[in-house]
């Protein structure tokens, strides 16, 4: 008779007393690892099925962009940190990218809107929901129709998402491309090898109004500036957006130092900036802006 109430008391103590946290891990129903750590663990093991199942449960209460920003992208940051320490080799990074590709494909049917009326019963997904702030998510981002777009954004794929340096950057670019498509802007993804001299010459940029450069490691300003300079020569009319998913310096300092037009620190922020660039502006608004600049 006393076993259950005593266990509950110990779990509550474990959740609210830092030194007794091990009791919550041992006796509670919460996962021992954080949601990003679990995502990283499963992508590292090449297990997209389990990750996608938990994501499906998570999406009962949160938006797709919230999942990608708060869980998946955070998991990729952990992988990036291990890569910088030399404990994850290139082969494993490629496995993570391929697993993320499968997860993204599995979630292709979900709209990027905040769901209502459903509550997850999965403890792992519930922990991820509790750790996620969805206040600035998809409801503020519209689904643009063709008539809402500027002429430059009416091509088949007006957004080009490029990996800055490696497989993890490409994985983040895949998630960004899918989110853009959910809001009416089709995008295509190219790997990091595209920025080499030989491949950049063959890169098709016709119809690309915005080029999004994806970086999990934003520490090398010289590398980003070099990539932006080469893309300017290849596509002089395109807007270049830097996606710095791990940024420890001033965003404005990095944007100006890299000579980019825009900078985003999250996938949702990148989507918003692309939507703002693509949305048709009334003629009178354009005249007012021109007058202010003059």
Cα 183 to Cα 199: distance, rounded to the nearest angstrom: 30
Q: What is the pLDDT of residues 148-204, one digit of tens each?
A: 999 999 999 999 999 999 999 999 999 999 999 999 999 999 998 998 888 888 899
What pTM was estimated for this model as a whole? Answer: 0.84
**DSSP character at residue 237:** T
SS3 state at 179: helix
> What integer pLDDT is reported at residue 22 of this predicted model?
56
Burial (CB < 10 A; 0-12, 13-18, 19+), residue 261, is middle
Contacts of 40 (CB under 8 A, 6+ apart): 75, 76, 78, 79, 96
Q: What is the pLDDT along the chain (294 residues), one digit of tens a residue?
A: 666 666 666 556 666 666 666 555 555 455 557 899 999 999 999 999 999 999 999 999 899 999 999 999 999 999 999 999 999 999 999 999 999 999 999 999 999 988 877 888 888 888 888 877 656 444 578 889 999 999 999 999 999 999 999 999 999 999 999 999 999 999 999 998 998 888 888 899 989 999 999 999 888 899 999 999 999 999 999 999 999 998 888 999 999 999 999 999 999 999 999 999 999 854 444 333 334 433
Do residues 269 and 140 lie in contact, with contact meaning Cβ atoms separated by under 8 Å?
no
Q: Which of 219, 76, 242 is nearest to 161 (CA)?
A: 242
- Distance, first Cα to last Cα, the chain: 80
> What integer pLDDT is reported at residue 64 of this predicted model?
93
């Amino acid at each position: 008779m006393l076993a259950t109430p005593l266990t509950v008391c110990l779990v509550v103590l474990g959740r609210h007393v830092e030194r007794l946290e091990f009791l919550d891990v041992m006796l509670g129903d919460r996962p021992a690892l954080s949601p990003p750590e679990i995502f990283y663990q499963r992508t590292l093991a090449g297990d997209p099925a389990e990750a996608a199942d938990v994501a499906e449960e998570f999406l009962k209460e949160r938006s797709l962009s919230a999942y990608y920003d708060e869980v998946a992208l955070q998991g990729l940051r952990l992988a990036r940190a291990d890569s910088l320490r030399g404990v994850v080799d290139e082969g494993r990074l490629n496995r993570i990218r391929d697993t993320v590709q499968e997860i993204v494909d599995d979630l292709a049917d979900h709209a990027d809107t905040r769901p209502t009326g459903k509550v997850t019963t999965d403890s792992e997904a519930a922990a991820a929901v509790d750790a996620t702030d969805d206040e600035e998510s998809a409801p503020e981002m519209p689904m643009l129709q063709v008539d809402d777009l500027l002429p430059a954004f009416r091509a088949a794929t007006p957004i080009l998402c490029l990996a800055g340096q490696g497989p993890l950057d490409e994985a983040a670019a895949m998630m960004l491309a899918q989110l853009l498509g959910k809001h009416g802007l089709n995008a295509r993804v190219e790997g990091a090898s595209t920025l080499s001299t030989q491949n950049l010459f063959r890169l098709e940029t016709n119809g690309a109004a915005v080029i999004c450069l994806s970086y999990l490691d934003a520490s090398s300003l010289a590398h980003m500036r070099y990539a932006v300079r080469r893309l300017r020569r290849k596509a002089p009319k395109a807007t270049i957006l830097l996606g710095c998913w791990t940024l420890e310096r001033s965003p404005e300092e990095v944007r100006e130092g890299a000579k980019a037009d825009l900078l985003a620190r999250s996938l949702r922020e990148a989507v918003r900036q692309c939507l703002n660039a693509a949305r048709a502006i009334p003629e009178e608004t354009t005249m007012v802006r021109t007058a202010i600049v003059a």
